[in-house]
């Protein structure tokens, strides 16, 4: 049966070149990078070269990059250590943050260690900068966690402006950049960001590896205790081939960024056009149709409330279309989404997120829209 994969914001397929490199490296670089013999030193070189390469791509120093098991660990490390080690008692986030951010913050609040404020957002999920200033002015030194782009609706925040406000108020700024690293250019010399998170599987690398960026102005203690890896900042034997693959995936992404952005934007526009011209009453979430202020990889839409719509995700899967979704209110076919209910609590229309990569084609989109039309007719 023909199937199309339109769930690239959940994870991307690995690039064949990276699979090839990793499987070779598993044979040649099996040694522990902490071992002092030549085998170990060779593994260590792989890890350090990957760090340098990633740092170059972000215009920062290798000392700011710490490898982790992925985005969740990077976010947790930034939040828990950033707050604890700086004796922070107030944090700000948005209700639309990923659970890798919301849950550790909510835990700290439940333990009575911080007061947690939620920043005002508009109907697209864009945070209010005047409210940020107000919250910062009326509270002690604050930890701010605002994601760069939302994984469900694709809304992008102006992290440069947020960083400048945080600097003005001496706040610590963490941004969950899991959906944007290797999809947008970053210049860390231009951004006042203290912590950022990245995950290789969002840009055709393997799962279970990522990094946390920590600015040179910030000192923290490690989250995981044990060995002295990552300059005593992240214990545990390094995922050598995963780290090499992470760097390779980032290098590939940035080398071809312009052409890939253009290609994927083309796919997204094509799907928007098809929804507008071939289907009725399809609504677009957030700023999804605004190409410059939303993820070009994500098109988040909602469909009319009908019996069939309730089980839309399930039905699409049966017909060979892999995408993801969630409703504002929990319904039979899909789980309730804190993001969709955060922007539109009353809506019962089922939301579907289509997300694209360089491996998708217009035929994939034709196929998905044809199946949707079949379901609605
Ligand atoms: N933050 C965002 C915005 C994400 O989309 C994800 C992945 O779903 C994560 C964090 C977690 O990353 P990982 O899967 O690498 O733990």
* One domain for residues 51 and 93: yes
- Take atom 2 of ligand 1 and give the residue whose Cα is closest: 178
Rounded to the nearest whole angstrom, what is the distance from the C-alpha of residue 201 to the centroid of ligand 1? Answer: 9
pLDDT by residue (tens digit) across 153-201? 999 999 999 999 999 999 999 999 999 999 999 999 999 999 999 999 9
Rounded to the nearest whole angstrom, what is the distance from the C-alpha of residue 375 to the centroid of ligand 1? Answer: 31
State if residue 242 touches ligand 1 by the CB under 6 angstroms criterion.
no
* One domain for residues 285 and 368: yes
pTM reported for the whole predicted model:
0.96
Give 87's pLDDT tier (boundaries 50, 70, 90). very high
CATH of the domain at 224: 3.40.640.10
pLDDT by residue (tens digit) across 321-375? 999 986 655 444 556 789 888 888 778 788 899 999 999 999 999 999 999 999 9
The number of folded domains in the chain is: 2
Whether the CB-CB separation of 10 and 71 falls below 8 Å is answered with: no
pLDDT for position 310: 66
Domain that holds residue 161: 16-255
> Cα separation of 209 and 67, whole Å?
7
Positions annotated as catalytic residues are 329
- Take atom 5 of ligand 1 and give the residue whose Cα is closest: 151
pLDDT for position 344: 82
Higher-confidence residue of 359 and 306: namely 359
State if residue 7 touches ligand 1 by the CB under 6 angstroms criterion.
no
pLDDT for position 305: 84
pLDDT by residue (tens digit) across 91-111? 999 999 999 999 999 999 999
> Cα separation of 272 and 294, whole Å?
13
State if residue 104 touches ligand 1 by the CB under 6 angstroms criterion.
no
Domain C-terminal end among 255, 289, 320: 255
- Take atom 13 of ligand 1 and give the residue whose Cα is closest: 71
* One domain for residues 127 and 92: yes
Q: Closest Cα partner for 360 from 319, 325, 302, 321?
A: 321
Tokens describing residue 9: 């914001």
Domain C-terminal end among 230, 255, 280: 255
* One domain for residues 165 and 43: yes
Contacts of 204 (CB under 8 A, 6+ apart): 12, 13, 14, 15, 18, 249, 252, 253, 357, 358
pLDDT for position 331: 46
pLDDT by residue (tens digit) across 114-159? 999 999 999 999 999 999 999 999 999 999 999 999 999 999 999 9
pLDDT for position 301: 95
pLDDT for position 326: 67
Counting atoms of ligand 1 from 1, which one is nearest the CA of 149?
A: 3
- Take atom 9 of ligand 1 and give the residue whose Cα is closest: 71
* One domain for residues 234 and 306: no
* One domain for residues 241 and 274: no
Domain C-terminal end among 227, 255, 283: 255
State if residue 199 touches ligand 1 by the CB under 6 angstroms criterion.
yes
């Amino acid at each position: 049966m023909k199937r199309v994969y339109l769930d690239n914001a959940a994870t991307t397929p690995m690039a064949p070149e990276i699979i090839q490199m990793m499987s070779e490296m598993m044979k040649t670089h099996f040694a522990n990078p902490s071992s002092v013999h030549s085998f170990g030193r060779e593994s260590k070189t792989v890890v350090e070269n990957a760090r340098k390469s990633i740092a170059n791509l972000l215009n920062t120093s290798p000392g700011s990059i710490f490898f982790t098991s992925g985005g969740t660990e990077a976010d947790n490390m930034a939040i828990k250590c950033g707050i604890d080690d700086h004796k922070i008692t107030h944090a700000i986030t948005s209700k639309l943050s990923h659970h890798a951010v919301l849950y550790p913050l909510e835990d700290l609040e439940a333990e009575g260690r911080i007061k947690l404020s939620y920043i005002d957002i508009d109907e697209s999920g864009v945070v209010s900068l005047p409210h940020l200033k107000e919250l910062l002015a009326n509270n002690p030194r604050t930890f701010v966690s605002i994601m760069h782009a939302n994984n469900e609706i694709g809304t992008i925040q102006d992290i440069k402006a947020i960083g400048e406000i945080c600097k003005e108020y001496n706040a610590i700024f963490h941004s969950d950049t899991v959906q944007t690293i290797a999809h947008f250019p970053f210049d860390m010399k231009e951004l006042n960001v203290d912590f950022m998170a990245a995950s290789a599987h969002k840009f055709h690398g393997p799962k279970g590896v990522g990094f946390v960026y920590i600015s040179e102005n910030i000192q923290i203690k490690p989250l995981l205790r044990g060995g002295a890896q990552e300059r005593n900042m992240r214990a545990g034997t390094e995922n050598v081939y995963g780290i090499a693959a992470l760097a390779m995936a980032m290098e590939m992404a940035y080398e071809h960024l312009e052409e890939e952005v253009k290609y994927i934007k083309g796919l997204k526009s094509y799907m928007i056009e098809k929804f507008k011209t071939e289907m009725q009453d399809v609504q677009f979430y957030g700023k999804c149709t605004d190409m410059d202020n939303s993820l070009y990889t994500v098109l988040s839409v909602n469909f009319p409330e009908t019996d069939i719509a309730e089980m839309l995700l399930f039905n699409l899967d049966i017909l060979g279309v892999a995408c993801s979704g969630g409703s504002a209110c929990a319904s039979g076919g899909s789980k309730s989404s804190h993001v969709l209910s955060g922007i539109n609590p009353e809506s019962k229309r089922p939301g579907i997120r289509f997300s694209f990569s360089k491996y998708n084609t217009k035929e994939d989109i034709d196929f998905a829209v044809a199946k949707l039309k079949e379901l609605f007719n």
